[in-house]
Chains A and B, each alone.
Chain A
Amino acid sequence: MNRFRWLALPIAAAALAVVPWVTSDTIVQYGINALLVATLAQAWNIIGGFSGYPSFGNSVFYGLGTYGTAIAMAQLHWSFGSGLVLGAVLGVACALLFGIPILRLRGPYFAIATLGLAAVMSAIVATVEIAGKNIGLILPLFRGETLFYELSLILLVAATATVAWIARSRFGVGLVAIREDEDAAQVMGINTTMYKVAALTVAALFSALAGGIHAYWITFIDPASAFDPSLNVRMVIMTLFGGPGTVLGPVLGAFVLSAVSEVLASQATGVASLFYGFVIVAAVVFMPKGLLDLVQGFRESGWRYFIDNVRRYRI
């Protein structure tokens, strides 16, 4: 059985790929959202899960990807492909510009800086002429749900493959070393600043691409929706819930929580977000290593798994 385990992932991806041909449009639309948010969670996993630097501003990269694509297509009349590239360039440039000064610092400074960036970015973009100021931009209409679905799936697979590579590479081991003990990592000869900036840049690249796909799919964007700070909540919670610093945890967390929130969102606005907040709090206290660890730990020690987690860090 174990010999064929590596086959499970391509099979799962293939099964997801045929979804548009066998189900309804509603499910495909839900699927696009779930795949894009899973990509965002996976991207967050690189900086937040592996290097342990919680970014609360990844929505900025997503928003820049959205705007890059929208500006290219609506203002410059470029193709969708070049639009995606422009969005990715903007996202990566922002990660470098912002990451190099901030990631030289340690601890909470990075977290607060990203929080601040996420809070002001929509105000900044709303002053830019080519970005349509407050009004936003309208992209050319293109109705191809299947194409967007497959693109989102390819992006998620690419992000997951990247994370799988990172997890096995020297780069990934370096990030984990930074998470566990940054001083020790530095002493071992890791250029910690460069590693952290690289992690943020890769995260920004995938977030921006997800934003670009979403922009063309939704065809209308404005500063408030492109830089929606609640996206950060979703990335963090889905990664945390599934298992930060693992390859498949964020994808699993994103799929489970997307389904739950879809149900909750139909009840009342805000309820889904409230639920996310409670899940973050409960996850940090009871299952800080996520769903994947929970499954294994629960098998070994049953309900004591939760008690052990609570006891570990209390004063």
Chain B
Amino acid sequence: MQLFGQILVNGILLGGLYGLMGLGMGLVWGVLKIVNLAHGALIMLGGYALYFLYTKAGVDPFLGLPLAMLAMFVLGYLLQTLLLNLIVRSAQLNTLLLTFGLDVVFVYLAQLLFTADFRTINPPYAGKNVSLSGVTVPYAQLGAFGVAVLLAALLYLVLDKTRTGRAVRATAQNLVAARLYGVNPKRIYAITFGTGAALAGAAGGLYGIVSQITPYIGVTLTAKSFVIAILGGLDKPLGVIGGGLVLGIAEAMAALYLDPTYTDIISFGLLVLVLVARPAQLLGRA
């Protein structure tokens, strides 16, 4: 039972991080109608940004996170302004292919610049943990989970309360109507994609603290982010965190009761299951 509790906690802590990954994917998908296949690559880049902030500049990972997010926001904003806005109205095939191309570019740039070595962000408190009635909770994992939930809540507030957030939601619902009310879609698209990239960057940084970064982590994370975004619902940031928890717990349980090599297979099985189980009903749209 204690083992079960431990696995459950591990799953929840990992799931919060997964939720953060799904958040950026879902935001971009919902507003721009682009399924960003480079999302995992952006997560990977965010991980490297935080890694180098920590190892080269000595910034504490949790303090460096806003900086990494800012850098990723700028990257996302520029990508959308200079590139994605050119094809945002074309057939879905083209947006899929373009983001796929971007994914390839980022992965091999990272391989050339950073090498394929495994990297871990290893702050001094990485090994420390707190014990709650026999269940061990590492501080780093707990911090990552807290940041993920905080960012989801923040995104919810920004979308709900601020003028820009309302403009983003209006654009998602009806581009033409939003335009008539004076929303500049180019700017909103750029801000949305930038925010998506920043969230991916945050997820990547936290992933680097609790796990390992290589240039190749992106593809599976893209697929997982997609599943989580569907599970949670595209326009509900807190729901997406819930979707992340489902996947995190499922993976942790699979690793315990089957075999650690099956975790990716389980999450792929879940992916197919979610896709086949009528995403339209889960989403209430599509």
Contacts and interface: CB of A to CB of B under 8 A. Distances in A.
11 contacts: A101-B272, A102-B276, A109-B275, A111-B35, A116-B272, A229-B219, A273-B107, A280-B101, A281-B105, A313-B89, A313-B90
A151 interface: no
A48 B97 CA distance: 10
A270 B105 CA distance: 10
Contacts of A53: 93
A118 to B, nearest CB: 8
B104 A280 contact: yes
B104 A277 contact: yes
A129 to B, nearest CB: 14
A112 B221 CA distance: 11
Contacts of A278: 101, 105
A314 B226 CA distance: 25
A248 interface: no
B86 interface: yes
Interface of B: 29, 35, 37, 83, 85-94, 96-98, 100-109, 111-112, 185-186, 189, 219-220, 222-223, 226-227, 261, 264-265, 268, 271-272, 275-276, 279, 286
Interface of chain A, main secondary structure: helix
A81 to B, nearest CB: 33
A273 B111 CA distance: 10
Contact of B85 (A117, A124, A127, A314): A314
A288 B111 contact: no
Given A113-B272, A119-B220, A288-B94, A310 B86 contact: yes
A112 B97 contact: no
Nearest to A239: B97
B104 A119 contact: no
Nearest to A52: B93
Per CB-CB distance, the 4 closest pairs between chain A and chain B, nearest first, are A280-B101, A277-B104, A277-B105, A313-B90
Contacts of B94: 284, 288, 313
A112 B94 CA distance: 15
B84 to A, nearest CB: 9
B261 to A, nearest CB: 6
Contacts of A109: 275, 279
A280 B271 contact: no
- Interface range on chain A: under 10, 10 to 19, 20 to 34, or 35 or more? 35 or more
Contact of B92 (A107, A115, A281): A107
Nearest to B224: A116
Nearest to B215: A270
A236 interface: yes
A61 interface: no
A281 B98 contact: yes
Interface in A238-297: 240, 268, 270-271, 273-274, 276-281, 283-285, 288
Contact of B102 (A104, A123, A277): A277
Contact of B83 (A108, A127, A285): A285
A170 interface: no
B96 A113 contact: no
Contact of A112 (B92, B101, B105, B226): B226
A280 B38 CA distance: 13
B275 A277 contact: no
Interface string A225-238: 00001000100110
A116 B279 CA distance: 17
Contacts of A283: 101
B88 A315 contact: yes
A120 interface: yes
A314 B93 contact: no
Interface string A83-115: 000000000000000100110110111011101
Nearest to A48: B93
Given A102-B272, A313-B94, A116 B223 contact: yes
A126 B262 CA distance: 11
B275 A102 contact: yes
B200 to A, nearest CB: 16
A313 B101 CA distance: 18
A284 B101 contact: yes
Given A102-B272, A115-B219, A115-B223, A233 B111 contact: no
A277 B279 contact: no
A74 to B, nearest CB: 23
A5 interface: no
A285 B96 CA distance: 12
A54 to B, nearest CB: 5
Q: Which residue, of B93, B226, B279, has the highest number of chain A Cβ atoms within 10 A?
A: B93
Given A112-B271, A116-B223, A288-B94, A277 B87 contact: no
Nearest to A310: B86
Contacts of B219: 115, 118-119, 229
B186 A120 contact: no
Contact of A276 (B85, B102, B104, B271): B104
Interface in A41-79: 48, 52-54, 56
Nearest to B218: A119
B275 A113 contact: yes
